[in-house]
Amino acid sequence: MVLVKTMYRNPKEYIDKEVTISGWVRTIRSSKNVGFIEINDGSFFKNIQVVFDSSLENFAEIGKLAISSSIKVEGLLVETPNSKQPFEIQAKAVTIEGMSNSDYPLQKKRHTLEYLRTIAHLRPRSNTFSAVFRVRSVAAHAIHKFFQDRGFVYVHTPIITSSDCEGAGEMFRVTTLDMKNPPVTEEGKIDYSNDFFGKEASLTVSGQLEGEIFALAFRNIYTFGPTFRAENSNTARHASEFWMIEPEIAFAELVDNMDLAEDMIKYVINDVLENAPEEIAFFNSFIDKGLLDRLNNIVNSDFERVTYTKAIEILQSSGHKFDYPVEWGMDLQTEHERYITEKVFNKPVFVTDYPAEIKAFYMRLNEDGKTVAAMDLLVPGVGEIIGGSQREERHDVLVEKIENMGLSKEDYWWYLELRKYGETKHSGFGLGFERLIMYLTGMANIRDVLPFPRTPGSAEF
């Protein structure tokens, strides 16, 4: 058995030789004496053409195969210099392994992405999703290679948690309590001491705080795992379950953090361009005509770095009329972010040093006492793709920030202890993996880069 990918990568080894392949019928047509099948064997984005003729005893049966039937083909691989494809197989035998049915929902015609979501068990067999999910796999591996090659320790931070990293709520409860008759305390509250973990538990929104624990032992670490938001927002950019990459580096300031993020983004893009060229070419032709230019632009440019204060000045003096008026202290809206990265700089931009009031408690307070050492990476076409910061390592400053934000010091006892036993400057960021995949493929809806998306009202498959 030869894989189609192997034949495409090393055709000389197989040309004019007998080969055996197995795969699924993507298209089929036949006339009286000859037929053509495009087969995809799952190993490669491209199909291979099989020519079969009436010398096969099951010629008639083969000609009637429904799309997606699985077959085994033995035959001769020959070059086809005058065709679109470089070679084809002249079949000597075709064996049917699994018949498909004529009601196969993925017929060779244009389906809407919305329809394809309803058949998530079959859409990976379409060109578009075959490309999306292969790029997803290549990019995931690129992330691991990038960090591991640099000596970063991969840490599995917990999914079920009893703490709330952002202090932001919007978490899913995890419970084994009887929903109909939950135990209650004397005060009439739900008695979570009887729940599975002996306390209230939720799905994590971030592994950052636990990541800091590991950075303060292993210096350079990263997480790569699922995170959750119980946010009832039905947009093309939000999912309830998504994967996040969160590196954390010790003895490192904000500038090191930006360098790391820039290196990582460029590494992953280069790796995908190298290892999934057929898929990227497909996206560039059929999904997003500017994709390849945009990706090349990114790997070849030095990312811009500008403070929030400077960005506000640029926006205010731009003469552009924004829906949200621009003033210092506000959070940047998508329209502002895109204006900065697309109109002003036309390349990725780190915006740094945001007002402390609009950022999380763990970000390091700057000397000015009103901004924090935060950074967001904005990219053309998408907006924010990375958010990070230098972490507040000073015990007393951190306690003050926790109290000012109305959080409970006790809930963060171990996070605070990290600042008692050999604190160091340290920094980190979070990259939403799906946002990255959208960026790499040009796919516009997060539902189409997740194998089985979970969104409000939807947890199918």
Which is closer to its own copies, CB of 35 or CB of 383? 35
In the complex, least distance from residue 442 CB atom to its own copies, rounded to whole angstroms: 20
CB of residue 86 vs its own copies: minimum separation in angstroms?
Answer: 20
Per-residue CA distances from 173 to 94, 98, 163, 202 (Å) = 53, 43, 12, 4
Q: How far is the CB of 131 from its own copies (least distance, A)?
A: 11
Burial of 307 (0-12, 13-18, 19+ CB in 10 A): middle
124 versus 167: smaller Cβ distance to its own copies: 124
The answer to whether 35 touches 28, Cβ cutoff 8 Å, is yes
CB of 398 to its own copies, least distance (A): 13
Q: Which residue has the tokens 């793709």?
A: 385
* Pairing state between β 202-203 and 160-161: antiparallel
Taking the alpha carbons at both ends of the chain, their separation in whole angstroms is: 32
Strand order in the sheet with 349-355: 153-154, 220-228, 241-250, 426-432, 383-390, 371-379, 349-355, 304-307
At residue 151, the 3 state secondary structure works out as coil
Q: For residues 131 and 332, which CB has a smaller minimum distance to its own copies in the complex? A: 131
Residue 138 vs 311, nearer CB to its own copies: 138
Q: How far is the CB of 107 from its own copies (least distance, A)?
A: 11
Q: CB 81 → its own copies: shortest distance, Å? A: 28
By beta-carbon proximity to its own copies, the closer residue of 221 and 315 is 221
| DSSP code per residue over 187-212 | TSSB-GGGSTTSS--EE-S-SHHHHH
Smaller CB separation from its own copies, 101 or 346: 101
CA 179/CA 172 separation, integer angstroms: 15
**In terms of Cα–Cα distance, which of 212, 284, 280 is closest to 252?**
212
CB 269 within 8 A of CB 440: yes
Q: Write down the least CB distance from residue 48 to its own copies, Å.
A: 13
Q: Tokens 């490192």 correspond to what residue?
A: 252
Q: Closest separation between CB of residue 453 and its own copies, Å?
A: 8
- CB-wise, 21 or 340, nearer to its own copies? 21
Nearer to its own copies, 124 or 355 (CB): 124
Non-local CB neighbours of 124 within 8 Å, separated by 6+ positions: 130, 133, 451
Find the shortest distance in angstroms from Cβ 247 to its own copies: 13
Neighbouring residues of 332: CB distance < 8 A, sequence distance ≥ 6: 308, 311, 340, 351, 376
Residue 173 or 409 with smaller CB distance to its own copies: 173
